[in-house]
Amino acid sequence: MRTLITGGTIVNADATTRADILVDGERIAIIGTDLDVEADRTIDASGKWVIPGAIDVHTHMELPFGGTFAKDTFETGTRAAAFGGTTTIIDFAVQPRGGSLRQGLDAWHEKADGRACIDYGFHMIISDVRDDVLSEMDGLVDEGITSFKLFTAYPGVFFSDDGAIFRAMQQTARNGGLIMMHAENGLAIDVVAGQNVAAGNTDPYYHGTSRSPVLEGEATNRVIRLAQVAGAPVYIVHLSAREALDEVRRARDAGLPAFAETCPQYLFLSLDDMGNGFEGSKFVCSPPLRPAEHQEELWTGLLKDDLQVVSTDHCPFDFHEQKELGRDDFRKIPNGLPGVENRVDLLHHGGVREGRLTPNRWVEVISTAPARMFGLPHKGAVAVGLDADLVVYDPNRQHTISASTHHMDVDYSCYEGWDVVGGADVVLSRGTVIVDGEAWHGTPGAGQFLKRQRSPYLR
Amino acid sequence: MRTLITGGTIVNADATTRADILVDGERIAIIGTDLDVEADRTIDASGKWVIPGAIDVHTHMELPFGGTFAKDTFETGTRAAAFGGTTTIIDFAVQPRGGSLRQGLDAWHEKADGRACIDYGFHMIISDVRDDVLSEMDGLVDEGITSFKLFTAYPGVFFSDDGAIFRAMQQTARNGGLIMMHAENGLAIDVVAGQNVAAGNTDPYYHGTSRSPVLEGEATNRVIRLAQVAGAPVYIVHLSAREALDEVRRARDAGLPAFAETCPQYLFLSLDDMGNGFEGSKFVCSPPLRPAEHQEELWTGLLKDDLQVVSTDHCPFDFHEQKELGRDDFRKIPNGLPGVENRVDLLHHGGVREGRLTPNRWVEVISTAPARMFGLPHKGAVAVGLDADLVVYDPNRQHTISASTHHMDVDYSCYEGWDVVGGADVVLSRGTVIVDGEAWHGTPGAGQFLKRQRSPYLR
Amino acid sequence: MRTLITGGTIVNADATTRADILVDGERIAIIGTDLDVEADRTIDASGKWVIPGAIDVHTHMELPFGGTFAKDTFETGTRAAAFGGTTTIIDFAVQPRGGSLRQGLDAWHEKADGRACIDYGFHMIISDVRDDVLSEMDGLVDEGITSFKLFTAYPGVFFSDDGAIFRAMQQTARNGGLIMMHAENGLAIDVVAGQNVAAGNTDPYYHGTSRSPVLEGEATNRVIRLAQVAGAPVYIVHLSAREALDEVRRARDAGLPAFAETCPQYLFLSLDDMGNGFEGSKFVCSPPLRPAEHQEELWTGLLKDDLQVVSTDHCPFDFHEQKELGRDDFRKIPNGLPGVENRVDLLHHGGVREGRLTPNRWVEVISTAPARMFGLPHKGAVAVGLDADLVVYDPNRQHTISASTHHMDVDYSCYEGWDVVGGADVVLSRGTVIVDGEAWHGTPGAGQFLKRQRSPYLR
Amino acid sequence: MRTLITGGTIVNADATTRADILVDGERIAIIGTDLDVEADRTIDASGKWVIPGAIDVHTHMELPFGGTFAKDTFETGTRAAAFGGTTTIIDFAVQPRGGSLRQGLDAWHEKADGRACIDYGFHMIISDVRDDVLSEMDGLVDEGITSFKLFTAYPGVFFSDDGAIFRAMQQTARNGGLIMMHAENGLAIDVVAGQNVAAGNTDPYYHGTSRSPVLEGEATNRVIRLAQVAGAPVYIVHLSAREALDEVRRARDAGLPAFAETCPQYLFLSLDDMGNGFEGSKFVCSPPLRPAEHQEELWTGLLKDDLQVVSTDHCPFDFHEQKELGRDDFRKIPNGLPGVENRVDLLHHGGVREGRLTPNRWVEVISTAPARMFGLPHKGAVAVGLDADLVVYDPNRQHTISASTHHMDVDYSCYEGWDVVGGADVVLSRGTVIVDGEAWHGTPGAGQFLKRQRSPYLR
């Protein structure tokens, strides 16, 4: 099967060029000017951009949380991702408390296998740092699970204490893995949250005010320093606050291998969105949405490479029945937002269109940097020899985000009614067209598990 | 004329791939896996890297300085550059004091025209900020001279006062040009230098100690703040000191469009090199070489993108007869070092081989970032449609740097006897092989003047 | 002549105590509990505080500026100071351009001699750094003129270039003097001011907007770095902006001997005050009033000792006839505000009453620290053996500031109609009661010239 | 009983004066020039300084630690303190784990009552934060126990988790108490210490290397941020490392009420002292001694008031039998050093004599600031009405520190054989001479419990 994409403008992280692309099988075979080759199919990309398929390194398909499960399966979630221009996800397998990493990994393979419509990898959430678990980490790195997530938040659930985190970091200093941290001081936050509920402040809004940005900054510095002493790199997930960004900057200025991602919700939404009574539950995630003045700081962080990646932390719960679990106590609202479908367009609209990012930097933060950071050398660029994960992107197409039209299996959208400019017209996953306008041509199970390499994390 | 480069590993800033390259005329026409096309010439790049030709944005061919001229002409200098893997230079045209920018530009066109063996652009040194000169700047930007250099050093020669610098920055805030600054506090430095000479401290070493790194930091902050108030970006040339880097970091952390380059001499040489009696004159440049502990800071700056570019400040004077002008007074030693030929290999050796930079980041700092920063979208990447400025680079070739073998027209080398690993095997300039091993196939005058675009300077 | 002050609470920088004070002649002779001694006069200080007379280290009596003179003479100015609880001023003698320091000093002695009602010292403004002037500095230090002021502002008037400033700093590194700096980038400011006037923006408000706080920060860093290289301490006068404070903090955090004062106008007034048409001229001084958000930063600086001193920069010009010189061009408005009478009360009201400063810290910033900083060991504390410069201060007395009642010889007040709590009831200058409620008992010429010691500047 | 001290130079934090002092009963009654009064006793202080008795706010008399007890009792410890010029200590009462604060306080009152030779107060160590304990805190504040210490170090012993620390801070935000923090990341440190022992690295030196200064910096920032969110001030005890000082600076620069003390051992001793086999156990304390380059940073912190207080953390264990408990495992070495007797002289020698502190600042950090910080308005200055805790100090007396001559009940000295200049000649505690040269005139039980006020902590 050979597909020819003609007339488009290839936008890579390093250059913008006009050229045709021949996809042969699963790889990009030829890029050339006015290619004169035969193909089974030709896609006219005139007036469009061709970009590497976006990579979302932070998703939670079917995550169990607070007695329920994130709605999207690997099937619905990856389908929605594809419609949004994302052709790779890295999801978080979860070690069951008391169990082994292997058990968690097996469970996640089972969830994904035969269902994923695009390629996927796994990070491993470590719930329970024990000697045997530390040993297990080495094996997982060799199997392509080269990154591990721990939490300073969620005491009693995912929380690890500093000694445990430090030991896991020491292990990656030896085995080349990368520790990812949810950095909020959960112990202090839980005190405030409990006091709020005791005082009758049970609305979703108090989820936001219970979690001070200062406590995200604190935990961010803490895990960076633990990593420094352990001699390991560290990657901060879903950074939301100026205070946390300042700590990442400080570490990077000193030359430390500290990295961070942010998410569209922190760039576009704010604490105010949580304030409309229980409607605010739609926006409950952790870290919470911040006062609006944090947004521009995060854009600056992206521009200057203090934030290297934009992911989604996609973790959708229906407003009805799921978010409602916390109607009387914000602490019981399942944490998480849908977003895997919207990231590429939101970043294009608010980043490229509004002059905050060049098209090249946009490609870098949604695709190239995620691929490099997480050991996927075959992804992240439109280049000969790499996987033909390609998106024909129309930078001028206007559309309206809505739960009534989106493909995620969740009953609301955080961006309901937003008009955005830019959208994926055609999406190829390893050479196969899976999205063509509104048409879906993907196949559950066609997505492959990605055995990832160690992160080069030099930058 | 079609040239096929087969079997190489293409190293771009964003990805590393295995593919063949067809050059047709002056451009890269096709990149493909196992390309089956006809070509006039085939270059076997097996086991080698193919990288975009390096770009040196800071050279001074035939610069008049202290009563003499930098030795290399556009012919000898660009020939040496090519042997070192560099296929584009941006040289500094100099406005004569009291004269117009046009006069300076004309003079530089005359120096380059018919002589340059590789493509070249010009920055414009403004010696004398006047109302008419400010107006002239707009025209130059439209002609592709989109960057202007001013000095806080060299009182009485190139020095501009803060009001003049500020006015020039305001002009670029309007016309889209980019101000480049030599940032040292020349007024204070000249006091110290004069005191040193008065005290009989006339050796080259005192050139170094007269120019405190604190005074580079000061001037760097100063010009960044002037640019901030003017609403203009600013680019610091030949940053040498931790104190200056700290100021650039501080500005970038705050989101300011401040940029900087460093040079190999500051990454590899140190104040100690200036200490061996008059031998030290070989290393006299400004800013001067710094104590060795500054080097690792600069490498960190490169890694974290606080330094975006490595250039050479190539400005060669013979040790005999030229450097000797300052035998009795270090202030009379012509300032400048040869280096246009050595940058790519030194950065490969000390950066890539020693684990400080990935191969991709190496390409970025020597080619991609310089191209983007200075408005050369057709350069800086191995990509279809771009200029076929290509280097087949052998990352394993060991060679010894020496004045006896280098191609620069200068009687010494700062790196005499250094063994470095990595070297350009074949070099193409817009499709024409100009270097093939030790053989020279270039042609004076084949290099074209590059009408540059405005810098996108978003990052 | 013996005066007994009974029943008061002595507030010193280091402690608060209840005790009586016996003044014998010019000195404090005895402090004791329920002193049973004979005295010529007894002052009942029950319910009041007794504090050391305040010291204003920044006044400009009869300063020539822009073709006119600051209104207050040494007689009217020191009388007003005394009414405000200030018993010592340090005024700025001015070297005439082209002339010697001696000429300036002689002129100032002449202004003060026989007229000052309280003790006074002189700093020396250096208008013209020459070799002979540098030599002269040494002699002045020995005569008790131990501090020298230079300017990075006012090109063509007081401006010195960086080389000149650096040389003066080197001189004090040798002779133990202290360089005081007016730190604003006057060269850039004059460009903006000229552009404003050219654009028809001639109102006083544009005086404020022409002088960016960023350019105060820049110059502050610059002079600190020059001092660092010269090996000398430096004192920033009338610091007004957060950006400048940040530079002082940065220097002090690094251990550098950098010091700074601020003034009440920067703590209480803001750019908005300059906005009411030509009324704004009443508030024209340099640096200008800043946006209100700078105020709280300055209070923080005072609290944490990053600002050590509060002075007034008292330099009064009548609104009528004097300020009016700049009715058509803000650049012609004489720069300066009246304030010598209001500092102590304003700081008490806004500092002590509003909980920003303890009473002890208030005494420290208005009296003790100024005395130590500028070499006056006999002043600045209520302690036996020191000069009996004493103020019986009523911390509860409310009064209204008004030009109709103040004692400064100027036709307006910047604080017209402000109600403040706290006021000097009785003021002694070296043992003599000179203010007693509204009654004036001072004598022109009773104030003595203070031969100051070198600053210990350790902290 | 009236005592007259004649001819001395009174050195206070704010001024230096020559005057006589009459002590009447327990208070300073009169200070005057050439006092002509009758007295029961006259002390000739000619050529000497008279300073306020020093205050050591960090001692551990009879502290149980690791199965043994700190050697000095309140009797031997306060006697030694007095010989060293210290007339007040604040010791740490310890809440028994599971018990009440009251139990701990009662136990400490019992230890001190009838034994202390100088005045003393208590801080309260909270070992176990519970709801009832939080309530108890309010009562203790009213009883004059206005400060509480918690630990991020010593897991399983004194360690509190971040939620507990945060709750205690919230309590002091309400009741006006001050939280004092031992800030090291004990959880991570214990991992490293355990790994060291497992690897056979059991020598005292590894105590030092197990406790990275980075982990002190981390914990310091953490507790500052917890306090910031709680709206409470925080005081860092025994700050030892540049990394921790940097965090205090950062907080103070931002205006936060963060305070810190250091101790002589961190100013004078270094990691090298721990390296001589088991001899190093003499220097085992936590935080540990740091590499020598930290010392000058701490001096800078003292100079600039980023460190406000010098205390001792006096906690002596005999080298024989006590320190020896850890001969095979450094973790079993009782943590603590003797020092209560040496602080004043060491600070005079290394601070005043070596030009790092003025005599006034020396008095401030050893006496005035401790008194203000911990709510002792009757102490900390030589002023009429205050307690007559006075030291006639000879700034020129040279003596040699040695365990053979010191008065602490411990068999070694950390400063054995050091020659220091400066020593207390006569010491008065509330009007009574308790030390006169080598003679001891003190009385166990004469020292009184000090009911302290809340800290004003404004600065």
The verdict on a CB contact (< 8 Å) between B459 and A15 is no
Tell me the residue length of chain B: 459
Over the stretch C50-92, which tens digit does the pLDDT of each residue have?
Answer: 999 999 999 999 999 888 999 999 999 999 999 999 999 999 9
Q: Coil, strand or helix: which one is D43?
A: strand
Q: What is the enclosing helix (H) or strand (E) of D52?
A: strand D49-52
DSSP codes of every residue in B160-205? --HHHHHHHHHHHHHH--EEEEE---HHHHHHHHHHHHHTT--SHH
pLDDT computed for residue B65 by the predictor: 86
Residue among C112, C175, C168, C108 at smallest CA distance from C138: C175
Instruction: Name the token pair of D409.
Output: 């009940």
Facing C13 at nearest CB: one of D13, D300, D357: D13
Residues of chain A in contact with residue D167, where contact means CB-CB under 8 angstroms, are 191
- Sheet with C49-52: strands ordered across: C16-18, C9-11, C49-52, C390-400, C419-429, C432-436, C439-440
Q: What is the mean pLDDT of residues D163-191?
A: 98
The answer to whether C10 contacts chain D (CB < 8 Å) is yes
The verdict on a CB contact (< 8 Å) between A163 and D229 is no
Q: Which of A18, A55, A304, A390 to mutate to test the interface with B (most CBs of B within 10 A)?
A: A304
Residues of chain B in contact with residue C156, where contact means CB-CB under 8 angstroms, are none
Q: Which residue of C has its CA nearest to B213?
A: C229
CA distances from C389 to A373, C8, C384, C396, D10 (A): 69, 15, 12, 21, 19
Instruction: Name the token pair of B442.
Output: 């270039």
The answer to whether D222 contacts chain A (CB < 8 Å) is yes
Per-residue confidence at D38, pLDDT binned at 50, 70, 90?
very high
B 397-456: CB under 8 A from A: 456
- A226 to chain D nearest CA, in Å? 7
The verdict on a CB contact (< 8 Å) between B384 and A303 is no
> Which amino acid would we find at residue B31?
I
The answer to whether A181 contacts chain B (CB < 8 Å) is no
**Beta pairing class for C41-44 and D41-44:** unpaired
Q: Coil, strand or helix: which one is D44?
A: strand
Over the stretch A221-279, which tens digit does the pLDDT of each residue have?
Answer: 999 999 999 999 999 999 999 999 999 999 999 999 999 999 999 999 999 999 999 99
The verdict on a CB contact (< 8 Å) between D215 and A222 is no
pLDDT computed for residue C65 by the predictor: 86
**Beta pairing class for B419-429 and D86-94:** unpaired
pLDDT computed for residue D456 by the predictor: 84
Residues of chain A in contact with residue B372, where contact means CB-CB under 8 angstroms, are 360
Over the stretch C36-56, which tens digit does the pLDDT of each residue have?
Answer: 999 999 999 999 999 999 999
Residues of chain B in contact with residue C155, where contact means CB-CB under 8 angstroms, are 163
pLDDT computed for residue B347 by the predictor: 98
The answer to whether B32 contacts chain A (CB < 8 Å) is yes
Residues of chain C in contact with residue D13, where contact means CB-CB under 8 angstroms, are 13-14
What's the rounded Cα separation, in Å, for the pair B350 and B267? 9
The answer to whether C231 contacts chain B (CB < 8 Å) is no
Tell me the residue length of chain D: 459
Beta-ladder partners of A320: none
Residues of chain C in contact with residue B217, where contact means CB-CB under 8 angstroms, are 225
Q: D194: Cβ–Cβ under 8 A, 6 or more apart, which residues?
A: none
The answer to whether C378 contacts chain D (CB < 8 Å) is no
Q: Does B459 score more than 60 pLDDT?
A: no
Beta-ladder partners of B3: B23, B41
CA distances from C412 to B89, C80, C282 (A): 64, 14, 8
Q: What is the mean pLDDT of residues A102-116?
A: 98
Facing A188 at nearest CB: one of D166, D187, D217: D166
Q: Coil, strand or helix: which one is C163?
A: helix
Q: What is the enclosing helix (H) or strand (E) of D393?
A: strand D390-400
The answer to whether C249 contacts chain D (CB < 8 Å) is yes
Over the stretch A284-311, which tens digit does the pLDDT of each residue have?
Answer: 999 999 999 999 999 999 999 999 999 9
Per-residue confidence at D458, pLDDT binned at 50, 70, 90?
low
What's the rounded Cα separation, in Å, for the pair B153 and B150? 9
The verdict on a CB contact (< 8 Å) between B221 and C221 is yes
Over the stretch C182-231, which tens digit does the pLDDT of each residue have?
Answer: 999 999 999 999 999 999 999 999 999 999 999 999 999 999 999 999 99
What's the rounded Cα separation, in Å, for the pair A159 and D293? 37
> Which amino acid would we find at residue B214?
V
pLDDT computed for residue C66 by the predictor: 80
The verdict on a CB contact (< 8 Å) between A459 and B29 is no
Residues of chain B in contact with residue A16, where contact means CB-CB under 8 angstroms, are 377
Tell me the backbone φ, ψ of residue D17, rounded to 5 degrees.
-140, 160
Q: Which residue has the tokens 């004194």?
A: D158
The verdict on a CB contact (< 8 Å) between A185 and D191 is no
The verdict on a CB contact (< 8 Å) between C383 and D15 is yes
Residue among A137, A103, A143 at smallest CA distance from A121: A143
Over the stretch A17-53, which tens digit does the pLDDT of each residue have?
Answer: 999 999 999 999 999 999 999 999 999 999 999 999 9
Q: What is the mean pLDDT of residues B417-434?
A: 98
Q: Which residue of A has its CA nearest to B250?
A: A253
Facing B214 at nearest CB: one of C155, C217, C225: C225
Beta-ladder partners of D3: D23, D41
What's the rounded Cα separation, in Å, for the pair B457 and B279? 40
Residues of chain B in contact with residue C190, where contact means CB-CB under 8 angstroms, are 163
Burial of D33 (0-12, 13-18, 19+ CB in 10 A): middle
The verdict on a CB contact (< 8 Å) between C163 and B225 is no
Mean pLDDT, chain C, whole residue set: 97
- D166 to chain A nearest CA, in Å? 6
Instruction: Name the token pair of A384.
Output: 């000969």
Asked if D266 and D289 touch (Cβ cutoff 8 Å), the reply is yes
The answer to whether C354 contacts chain D (CB < 8 Å) is no
The verdict on a CB contact (< 8 Å) between B458 and A18 is no
Asked if D327 and D66 touch (Cβ cutoff 8 Å), the reply is no
The verdict on a CB contact (< 8 Å) between A191 and D221 is no
Domains of chain D: 2-51+382-440 (2.30.40.10), 53-378 (3.20.20.140)
Helix axes B213-230, C186-198, angle to 10 degrees: 10
Instruction: Name the token pair of B288.
Output: 């001067």
Q: Coil, strand or helix: which one is A95?
A: coil
Q: Does C367 score more than 70 pLDDT?
A: yes
Measured at the alpha carbon of residue B363, what is the angle toward residues B357 and B364, in degrees to the nearest 5?
85
Instruction: Name the token pair of D116.
Output: 């202390």
Q: Coil, strand or helix: which one is B89?
A: strand
Q: What is the enclosing helix (H) or strand (E) of D370?
A: helix D369-373
What's the rounded Cα separation, in Å, for the pair B377 and A396? 22
Q: What is the mean pLDDT of residues D113-127?
A: 98
Over the stretch A187-209, which tens digit does the pLDDT of each residue have?
Answer: 999 999 999 999 999 999 999 99
Over the stretch B366-397, which tens digit does the pLDDT of each residue have?
Answer: 999 999 999 999 999 999 999 999 999 999 99
Residues of chain A in contact with residue B27, where contact means CB-CB under 8 angstroms, are 33
Burial of B12 (0-12, 13-18, 19+ CB in 10 A): buried
Subunits in contact with chain B (3 or more CB pairs closer than 8 Å)? A, C
Residues of chain B in contact with residue C163, where contact means CB-CB under 8 angstroms, are 155, 187-188, 190-191
Subunits in contact with chain D (3 or more CB pairs closer than 8 Å)? A, C
What's the rounded Cα separation, in Å, for the pair A295 and A276? 20
CA distances from A2 to A37, A436, B30, D173 (A): 10, 17, 17, 70
- How far out from the chain centre does Cα D439 lie? 25
Q: Is chain D touching chain B, with at least 3 CB–CB pairs below 8 Å?
A: no
Residues of chain B in contact with residue A390, where contact means CB-CB under 8 angstroms, are none
Facing B212 at nearest CB: one of C162, C188, C229: C229
The answer to whether B39 contacts chain A (CB < 8 Å) is no
Residues of chain C in contact with residue B229, where contact means CB-CB under 8 angstroms, are 188, 192, 212, 214-215
B 136-175: CB under 8 A from C: 155, 161-163, 166-167, 170
The verdict on a CB contact (< 8 Å) between D226 and A218 is yes
The verdict on a CB contact (< 8 Å) between C16 and D377 is yes
pLDDT computed for residue B67 by the predictor: 85
- For CA atoms C202, C203, C209, C215, give the dihedral sign: positive
The answer to whether A188 contacts chain D (CB < 8 Å) is yes
